[in-house]
Amino acid sequence: MVLLCLGGAACGQLSDDFYDDSCPKLESIVQARVAAAMKAELRMGASLLRLHFHDCFVNGCDGSILLDGAESEKLAAPNLNSVRGYEVIDAIKADLEKACPGLVSCADVVALAAKYGVLLSGGPDYDVLLGRRDGLVANQTLANNNLPSPFDNITVIIQRFKDVGLNTTDVTAALDAGSADAFDNHYFKNLLAKKGLLSSDQGLVSSPDGAAATRALVQAYSYNSQRFLCDFGDAMVRMGNIAPLTGSAGQIRKKCSAVN
């Protein structure tokens, strides 16, 4: 279901076959590069998915997160040493500039890489490492405020960071302790059991001030995995339609890290 949702959709001026004639090798080039990156590190599928999210939620899907520069999104505090996968996008873009120069936008490269990050993972039917988070960020509320924790797995994570020094981001903890290597709805089950890794997510579900609508969705997804998978796919398609530049707007960059 999620594969069908991600596989193709057209909205407004957007079309999933836009490059069929002008750059027929586009899909195979993206797929090959993403497959190679995920073979080297399975986690890269999740990173490419997140890269697409961070791009689209700042002034729309325009590839701006890929730009270098002192004031760039790439170096912004929420993204620095967190968002990754830039080298995969650069490799795809370099291949495309050889195959069909000046035709494929960087925003489309990011969107397609995210799509294949999910498809090459096998979607909902096969194992995929979709979520890990550095424990320092995951537990920043506890670390900064010395708050007690309702989560069973927090003390173990904190100790791991004490062992190597709290300033490191090299040690990661699975977002989903129950099925860390599967793309499924177990994360929502963890939240209902008060075992969520991220205190922000857990607070939305468990605190008296948490939104009833949020709790209702967590409950629905924890009980119905197919609903979660289909809603996820639909959300990805809709996210890709957030204020994209079309027609003569913007530019097709030769390198995604710099304007022409």
- Binding-site members for substrate are 148
Measured in whole angstroms, the distance separating CA 160 from the mean position of its chain's CA atoms is 25
Q: Which residues are annotated as a binding site?
A: 55, 58, 60, 62, 64, 73, 148, 176, 184
CB 93 within 8 A of CB 85: no
Query: For residues 195 and 153, what is the distance between their CA atoms, to the nearest angstrom?
Result: 7
Q: Which of 50, 52, 54, 115 is catalytic?
A: 54
- Amino acid making up residue 259: V
Judge whether 54 counts as a catalytic residue: yes
Q: How many residues does the chain have?
A: 260
CA dist 87 and 116 (Å) reads 16
Catalytic positions, written as ranges: 54
